[in-house]
Structure 1
Amino acid sequence: MPQKKSNIDRKQSASTIGILKIFVAFTTKISATHEIFIGFFMSGYVKMITNSLLIYKFGAC
C-alpha cells in the first residue's frame, strides 16, 4: 500500500514539474513574440476583424 502511494506522489510531482516547464517555455515564447503581437495591433488587424464581425452581425438586420 505505501509503495503505491509514493508512486502516485512521484507521478504528481513529475506532472507538476512538467506543467511548470511548459508554463516557463510559454511565457518566454510570449515575451519573444510580444513585439509581433504589438505590430499586429498597431497595423489594425484586430480592428479589421472586429469591424468585419460587426458588419456580419448587424449587416443581416
Structure 2
Amino acid sequence: MEAGLSRREHEVMVLIIQGRTSKEIARLLGLSVLTVRKHRENLLRRLGLHSTAQLIALALGS
C-alpha cells in the first residue's frame, strides 16, 4: 500500500487505475459518489498529484 494512504483510498486508487468511474466505484464499494470523489481528492493530495492522469502515470511507473 502506498505510504500515507488509508485502506479505502488505496481501494479507490486501484479502481481508478482500472478505469472505473466515480459512480462505478461508489456502487462497488457501497459508498456515495461524493465520498468517492473526496477519497480521490485526498489520495491525489497525499501523493502530490494534480490529476487522475498523473495518478495513472505513477501507477504505470512513468
Is TM (by shorter chain) over 0.5?
no
Determine which structure has the larger helix proportion and give its number.
1
* TM-score normalised by length of structure 1: 0.28
Answer with 1 or 2: which has the greater Rg: 1
